[in-house]
């Protein structure tokens, strides 16, 4: 009985610990993403979003409010970029600032953007390949799923970061 109790407690402890790590990943990466997305188009007079597809977004903004327009791009890398993660679905999420080297902001199993027009209708990704289509974007849904690197009972504990962001500078 004691052994079973000990096993159960250890198992729960592992799950809690893993879940906590995923939560921290989700919140920290989510905050970085949010910080940037809210500023899309700040002080930009021309095209504000350069790339908008399901796993990549590239936009312009004076992100640090220094009167210089910056370019920011979010995208995912390959599984092979994370050789130490046993989770087969893990991919690195990168943030590229201007021409700097991309920085990894987290490892996610799902990283997805959806785009909506002023009436809240989701825009087809195919329509976003041209400037006029991207000009219709008024809000962006970001979904990031973080899972533990190690499975427990064959299950990877996960946390979703799901946020619909309405960058003010896209709306006037």
Partner 1 sequence: MGRAAIIILLGGISLLSLLSLNFQSKTTEARGRAVGFHADNQSRNICNSMIGMLMSKLAANSGYRVKTLQTKNLLNGTAVYTIKDALLPATTDSVIEIDVSGIYFGDTTNAIVYVSEPSSIGFVPSPVKAAITTNNPVETSGNLMVDGRDHDISGNLISNNGTLGIWTTSSVNQKGNSKIGSTNDAGVDFAPAKKVSGNTDYVLDNQTWPGGYPDSPDKLLGGPSEGYPEGTLKSIAQSGANGSQYVSNPAFLSFPLSGVTYIELPSGDDWKPANIQGSGILIIHNSSENAIIKNLNSGTFKGLLIADDIIHIHTTIIGAVVGLTLFPSSGNCIGNGSGDVLFSRQAIKDATAMTSSGSSGYGYARQRMEVIHWYE
Phi/psi of residue 104, each to 5°?
A: -80, 125
Contact with partner 1 (CB under 8 A) among 89, 112, 127, 169 = 169
Closer residue to partner 1, CB minimum distance, 43 or 73: 43
**Piece of 9-17, 93-101, 121-129, 148-156 that binds partner 1 (CB under 8 A):** 9-17
Exposed, middle or buried, 6 (CB in 10 Å: 0-12/13-18/19+)? Answer: exposed
Closer residue to partner 1, CB minimum distance, 10 or 55: 10
> Does residue 14 bind partner 1 (CB under 8 A)?
no
Nearest to 25 by CA among 80, 82, 100: 82
> Does residue 162 bind partner 1 (CB under 8 A)?
no
> Does residue 71 bind partner 1 (CB under 8 A)?
no
> Does residue 27 bind partner 1 (CB under 8 A)?
yes
> Does residue 119 bind partner 1 (CB under 8 A)?
no
Phi/psi of residue 101, each to 5°?
A: -65, 140
> Does residue 118 bind partner 1 (CB under 8 A)?
no
Q: Please say whether the dihedral angle defined by the alpha carbons of residues 71, 23, 145 and 34, taken in this order, is positive or negative.
A: negative
Closer residue to partner 1, CB minimum distance, 23 or 112: 23
Q: Are 69 and 44 in contact (CB under 8 A)?
A: yes
Nearest to 22 by CA among 95, 87, 80: 87
Contact with partner 1 (CB under 8 A) among 7, 54, 55, 65 = 65
- Least Å distance between CB 18 and partner 1? 11
């Amino acid at each position: 009985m004691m052994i079973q109790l000990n096993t159960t407690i250890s198992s729960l402890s592992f799950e809690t610990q893993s879940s906590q790590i995923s939560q921290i990943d989700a919140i920290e990466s989510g905050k970085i993403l949010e910080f940037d997305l809210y500023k899309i188009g700040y002080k930009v007079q021309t095209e504000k979003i350069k790339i908008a597809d399901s796993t990549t977004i590239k936009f312009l903004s004076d992100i640090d409010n220094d009167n210089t327009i910056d370019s920011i791009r979010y995208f995912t890398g390959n599984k092979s970029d994370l050789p130490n993660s046993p989770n087969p679905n893990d991919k690195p999420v990168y943030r590229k600032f201007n021409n700097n080297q991309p920085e990894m902001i987290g490892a996610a199993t799902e990283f997805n953007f959806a785009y909506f027009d002023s009436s809240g209708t989701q825009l087809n990704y195919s329509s976003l390949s041209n400037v006029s289509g991207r000009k219709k974007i008024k809000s962006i849904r970001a979904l990031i799923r973080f899972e533990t690197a190690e499975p427990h009972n064959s299950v990877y504990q996960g946390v979703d970061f799901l946020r619909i962001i309405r960058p003010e500078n896209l709306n006037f």
